[in-house]
Amino acid sequence: MTAPSPPYWPDHERVGLVTVDDVWAAVSLPAEWAPIVLAILGGLSGPVWTDPGLTHWLWPVAPGGAGDWPDLTPVGVMRHGPGDMVLVPGSIGHNGVAWVRQPTSGRWFTHAALLRDAVEFILGPLGEAVALGPVTVCRYCAAPIRCGVLIDSFQSLSGPGRDTYACPSCFRDTVGGGARPLHTVRRVAR
């Protein structure tokens, strides 16, 4: 006898497009700071997978688990409910869609209240998050920041590009301000 599969388990061993129904829901977070949320949750996190094409990580939650969250789409947080379709990795994943933490027989979901607490650690109170603006992560110290300095921009023809930021302190200490110039500039005698 085989153990039952989670309701979101795809029909394929690599990856499948699965429709969210009334027995599960999901929350996706930007891949840039989702690892921090996973670190905050630690062993309290249930399964989570990554979709690098859409640059997000997705946590399955019990049905209606995040239903009372405000709309956080402007800051990159999306709730997925009945009728929404998401890519879910099978046992081996495919093209980067892969399990970060696989479901176990005892844990198919992350408790939505715990996930909310971890997200609020990054964004602040969810009711104020959109007004405060999106969060990025400092390239150097990995701290979540809202006031980053753009240090690199990558444009992709096959998917979303990526901007890289530094917090003001790291920018001052590494890239600008406190860093030595790349070339010594000498005055020319006239």
Amino acid at position 126, single letter: L
pTM listed for this prediction: 0.82
Q: How far is CA 15 from the centre of its chain?
A: 19
Beta bridge partners of 29: 57
- For residue 28, what are the β-bridge partners? 58, 78
Q: Is residue 31 located within the same domain as residue 120?
A: yes
Rounded distance, CA 168 to CA 53, Å?
29
Mean pLDDT of the region 69-90: 92
Of 131, 146, 178, the residue at which a domain comes to its end is 131
Q: Indicate if 32 and 67 belong to the same structural domain.
A: yes
**Is the same domain home to 127 and 142?**
no
What whole-number distance in Å separates Cα of residue 10 and Cα of residue 186?
Answer: 65
Look at residue 148 and tell me whether its pLDDT is greater than 90: no
Instruction: Please give the torsion angle defined by the CA atoms of residues 82, 71, 56 and 8, in that order, rounded to the nearest 10 degrees.
Output: -20
Angle at 135 between CA 131 and CA 136, to 5 degrees: 155
The full length of the chain comes to: 190
Q: Copy the structure tokens of residue 103.
A: 């479901």
Is residue 4 in some structural domain? no
> Are 59 and 142 in a shared domain?
no
By residue range, what is the domain housing residue 154? 135-190
Considering the domain architecture, whether residues 100 and 184 belong to the same structural domain is answered as no
Residue 45 within any structural domain of the chain: yes
Indicate if the pLDDT at residue 112 is higher than 90.
yes
90 vs 116, more confident: 116
DSSP, collapsed to helix, strand or coil, labels residue 174 as helix
Beta bridge partners of 91: none
Question: What is the C-alpha separation between 46 and 42, in angstroms, rounded?
Answer: 9
Domain shared by 79 and 160, yes or no: no
Indicate whether 111 and 157 sit together in one domain. Answer: no
**Structural domain contains residue 51:** yes
* Same domain? 142 vs 123: no
Q: What is the count of structural domains for the chain?
A: 2
Tokens 């890289």, residue located: 164
Q: Is residue 27 part of a domain?
A: yes
Range from 2-6, 32-36, 172-176 that averages highest in pLDDT: 32-36
Q: In this predicted structure, which of 1-10, 55-64, 113-122, 164-173 has the lowest mean pLDDT? A: 1-10
Q: Note whether residue 9 is domain-resident.
A: no
Q: Classify residue 173: in a domain, yes or no.
A: yes
**114 and 23 within one domain:** yes
Same domain for 179 and 122? no
Which two structure tokens, joined as six digits, stand for 184? 């010594």
